[in-house]
Amino acid sequence: MGRLRVLIVDDDQRVRENLAAYLEDEGMQVSDVASGEEAVTLLSSGARFDVCVMDMRLAGMDGNDSIRAVHAMAPGLEFLIHTGSAAYSPPADVKGLGLDRDRVFFKPLQDMGPLAQAIQDLADRCGLTDGPR
Q: Count other C-beta atoms under 10 Å from residue 29's C-beta.
A: 14
Residue 127 is predicted with a pLDDT of 79
| 131 pLDDT above the threshold of 60 | no
Q: How far is CA 51 from the centre of its chain?
A: 5
Which pLDDT band, with edges at 50, 70 and 90, does 101 fall under?
A: confident
Residue 133 forms part of a structural domain? no
For position 52, which CATH number holds?
A: 3.40.50.2300
| 31 pLDDT above the threshold of 80 | yes
Residue 2 is predicted with a pLDDT of 61
Q: Is the peptide bond before 108 cis (omega within 30 degrees of 0)?
A: yes
Mean per-residue pLDDT, 84-90: 89
Mean per-residue pLDDT, 96-101: 89
Please list, residue by residue across 84-112, b when 16 or more beta carbons sit within 10 angstroms of its beta carbon and e when fewer do: eeeeeebeeebeebebeeebbeeeebeeb
| Chain mean pLDDT for the chain | 92
Residue 73 forms part of a structural domain? yes
Residue 95 forms part of a structural domain? yes
Residue 71 forms part of a structural domain? yes
Are the C-beta atoms of residues 54 and 94 closer than 8 Å to each other?
no
| 90 pLDDT above the threshold of 60 | yes
Residue 130 forms part of a structural domain? no
Residue 74 forms part of a structural domain? yes
Total structural domains in the chain?
1
Residue 132 forms part of a structural domain? no
31 forms bridges with which residues in the sheet? 7
Its pTM stands at 0.92
Residue 29 forms part of a structural domain? yes
